[in-house]
Amino acid sequence: MNIILLGPPGAGKGTQAEFIKKQFHMAHISTGDILRQAVKENSPMGIKAKSFMDQGALVPDEVVIGIIQDRLQQQDTMKGYMLDGFPRTINQADALNEMLKGLSSWDQDRAIQHVVYLEVPELELVQRLQGRAAKEGRVDDNDETVKNRIKVYFEQTSPLIDYYEAKKLLRRINGRGAIEQITKDILSVLS
Ligand code: ADP
């Protein structure tokens, strides 16, 4: 099974990704994690990405599209993969379609079957992210960056809701409430 996790920053994608991964043994591909690792290692990609991430802006499409392109060629994704934090723009989603079709291993088994959309009201997002800033010390969780990430989400990422709805791939999940309940809702949609 191949899926996309979609939702605003602070929706709980990372938390739910851990449960889904255990259940279905799929490759977990988080562009945020990959970028943070690159920043830590001071690699050329990390150096390029850092200023965007610190401001809560999107890293340029060609960078993240490159990450996904490389990652989807690796063997472990053949048994299923979960994209977490990608795509984040319509352009990235179009690029994903094209690259899946272009894979040497292409067949229907490589296609996306579900886009799990975690829905959380905007006001709650701000509160959650500010809580996380205090707890985990992520530099991009400070007040101003948080506001910008949410703004960027509504402007650039939320159009993907309609995009995947039109492709009949969207699965809406209420992202409020107990973590276990949300996990249950996701698993029931996927099974
Ligand atoms: P969150 O979903 O909590 O905002 P992520 O870990 O998914 O956090 O992403 C952190 C940052 O990494 C984003 O604010 C952005 O700068 C960058 N990033 C991650 N994925 C993408 C992507 N697909 N396109 C552009 N930038 C990305």
The tally of domains found in the chain comes to 1
Q: Give the CA count within 13 Å in the CB-facing half-sphere of 26.
A: 24
Parent domain of 7: 2-190
At residue 2, the pLDDT reads 97
For 5: left if phi > 0, alpha if psi spans -120 to 50, otherwise beta; the answer is: beta
Q: Which residues line ligand 1 (CB under 6 A)?
A: 9, 31-32, 35, 52-53, 56-59, 64, 85-86, 88, 92, 140, 149
pTM of the model: 0.93
Number of H helices, E strands in the chain: 9, 5
Q: What mean pLDDT is predicted for residues 84-93? A: 98
Alpha carbon distance 4, 85 (integer Å): 8
Alpha carbon distance 97, 107 (integer Å): 13
Cβ atoms of 130 and 141 closer than 8 Å? yes
At residue 162, the pLDDT reads 98
Alpha carbon distance 6, 159 (integer Å): 11
At residue 141, the pLDDT reads 77
Q: Give the CA count within 13 Å in the CB-facing half-sphere of 13.
A: 26
CATH code for position 131: 3.40.50.300
Please write the tens of the pLDDT for every residue from 138-152: 777 778 888 899 999
Q: The tokens of 159 are what?
A: 């159009």
List the one residue out of 84, 81, 109 whose CA is nearest residue 7: 84
* Closest C-alpha residue for ligand 1 atom 18: 32
110 Cα to the center of ligand 1, angstroms: 24
Pocket perturbation via mutation, ligand 1, pick of 5, 149, 154 by most ligand atoms within 8 A of CB: 149
Please write the tens of the pLDDT for every residue from 19-72: 999 999 999 999 999 999 999 999 999 999 999 999 999 999 999 999 999 999
Q: The tokens of 119 are what?
A: 């829905």
88 is catalytic: yes
Whether the predicted pLDDT of 108 surpasses 90: no
176 is catalytic: no
At residue 137, the pLDDT reads 74
149 is catalytic: yes
At residue 139, the pLDDT reads 75
Q: What mean pLDDT is predicted for residues 162-174? A: 98
Set 48, 71, 138, 172: catalytic member = 138
Whether the predicted pLDDT of 104 surpasses 80: no
> Positive or negative, the Cα torsion across 158, 159, 165, 170?
negative
Q: What mean pLDDT is predicted for residues 102-120? A: 88
13 is catalytic: yes
Alpha carbon distance 85, 7 (integer Å): 8
At residue 123, the pLDDT reads 87
Whether the predicted pLDDT of 135 surpasses 90: no
